[in-house]
Structure 1
Amino acid sequence: MDHHAQRVPALRVRALPKSTNAYGRVQAGWLLEQIDLAGSLEAERLSRGPVATVAVNAFQFNAPILLGDVVNLYVDRLRVGQKSVTLKIEVESERMEGECVRITEVIVTFVAIDAEGRSRFLEDKNQ
């Protein structure tokens, strides 16, 4: 699968033993943490400040992530509103043999927050 050959991942991370279960497969919680990190980096850039995750659609594993895989997370902007940013995050796993496997795709919404944690307007939503 090389439809991402020209794209740069927002985040690349290797699946290490601490992220896997007893059978060498990545735990769903670990992947959700990586999705949140990749998405928040883009949402913070777009909102020019801190954000909080407010929604993650259901996601389904198309294949497992294995110990040693390099996980690539690609982030695309779907919507920038007055106070929120909605992103599509695609996850692929590069196997140690070089094969790329599509793992999942999720839609995540972040809300811009101020220093007290209250929602705020984005400074410039025409970015």
Structure 2
Amino acid sequence: MAAQLRALTKEAKLPGSGTVWRSAVAPERRALIGNLLDDAQEQLIQLRGAQRGSSAEAAERLLKGLGCGIDRLQQAVRETVGAALEAGVRVEDVAAWAGLSPDALAEVLGDGGRAVR
């Protein structure tokens, strides 16, 4: 019993929900996050060869490609934040890990802050 109490006390001091990601986040959502990250990675890899042609053409390809990569990463951030919040992680912890204030986190989620308040 003493060992269990020590473990519970230690867990209470650590940020997070104490749940395991795989049990707290649906497989479909985990797959979506993985796919978004894979898409972003592929988009960025393709940009390595985009620096040919005129300055305007290369800049256009790079900026459009970066925009697509950024969009996928932002989607992955929103999905990961949402999954963490649904798993019971405190808003303050999720915001700190994302390098955001709770208000900025609400803005990232794009739901008017309902999910974080």
TM over 0.5: same fold? Answer: no
TM-score normalised per structure 1: 0.29
Q: Which has the larger radius of gyration?
A: 2
> Which structure has the highest helix share of the two?
2
> Which structure has the highest strand share of the two?
1
TM-score normalised per structure 2: 0.31
